[in-house]
Amino acid sequence: MPTALITGATAGIGAAFARRLAADGFSLVLVARDEKRLVSVAEELRLRYGVSSEVLAADLVTDEGLEAVERRLGEGVDLLVNNAGFGHQGHFLDVPAEEELRMLKLHCEAVLRLTLAALPGMRARDRGAVINVASVAAFFTRGSYSASKAWVVNFSESTAIEMAGTRVRVMALCPGFVHTEFHERASMDKSGIPEFFWLSADNVVREAMRDLARGVRVSIPDLRYKVIVRVGRLLPLGLIGQFSRRLARR
């Protein structure tokens, strides 16, 4: 039975990955900070899908948490989903520096370290995959969040090229607005975002797994966001920045 380790596994896209992979017959390693909630999710998956779920409570903005997950990855997994992340309310200059550093620790250092912990075993077995959850924001300019997600995309593409010639795949997943707890946790007002732009986490995961099977290196779920990114790449950077600022004010 293949094994998948998912960070940020108790809600949103992480929980959707857990459901999809459990249905596909994966044994799961669920990682998040809240152990009580992890246990509850693991029990739900066991009852619904009959799969075993290992619970690993870890705060990935701490070295202790990262080291615990690195050790587990060193034991071997077939799929790593680096999904844990968060956003900030407000403009860059209004956010305390320590909060910006926490974001970089989680979005960049954790993705780097956990990918590096998983890949040697995958390469030795000549099979496996890493999905790094980024965002459509990676293709636009909006503070440190979009900058960190742009790093995830570039890192994932570069690592995928490093794995060329093997059966190990690395993919960046770049969803748009998704109905999850993400915005509530950041105290963000969602009322200014039209319903047209919202995606479901389950649909995002379904498209991600399809793209992974096809060998896609950067997955952008849903046609509407593929068009937005394609158009955005053709526009001047200054114009994109103005659009991003106006959207943020809304």
DSSP secondary structure of 84-95:
-----SS-GGGS
Q: Judge whether 21 and 98 are in contact, CB under 8 Å.
A: no
CA distance 80 to 73: 8
Which residues have a catalytic role annotated? Answer: 145
Please tell me which residue, 168 or 90, carries the higher pLDDT value: 168
What are the φ and ψ backbone dihedral angles of 171, each rounded to 5 degrees?
A: -140, 140
Q: What is the mean pLDDT of residues 218-229?
A: 89
CA distance 175 to 95: 24
Domains and CATH numbers, the chain: 3-249 (3.40.50.720)
Q: Partners of 32 in the beta sheet?
A: 57
Whether the pLDDT of residue 244 is over 90: the answer is no
Whether the pLDDT of residue 159 is over 90: the answer is yes
Please tell me which residue, 140 or 72, carries the higher pLDDT value: 72
Q: 164: buried, middle or exposed (CB in 10 Å: 19+, 13-18, 0-12)?
A: exposed
Whether the pLDDT of residue 64 is over 60: the answer is yes
Q: What is the mean pLDDT of residues 62-79?
A: 98
Q: What is the mean pLDDT of residues 44-48?
A: 95
Residue whose tokens read 């992979």: 21
**Largest CA-CA distance found in the chain, in angstroms, rounded:** 52
Q: Judge whether 55 and 42 are in contact, CB under 8 Å.
A: yes
Nearest to 190 by CA among 203, 177, 176, 200: 177
Q: Which residues contact 223 (CB under 8 A, 6 or more apart)?
A: none
What are the φ and ψ backbone dihedral angles of 113, each rounded to 5 degrees?
A: -65, -40
Q: What is the mean pLDDT of residues 121-125?
A: 97
Least confident residue range of 113-122, 222-231, 235-244: 235-244
Q: What is the mean pLDDT of residues 131-149?
A: 90
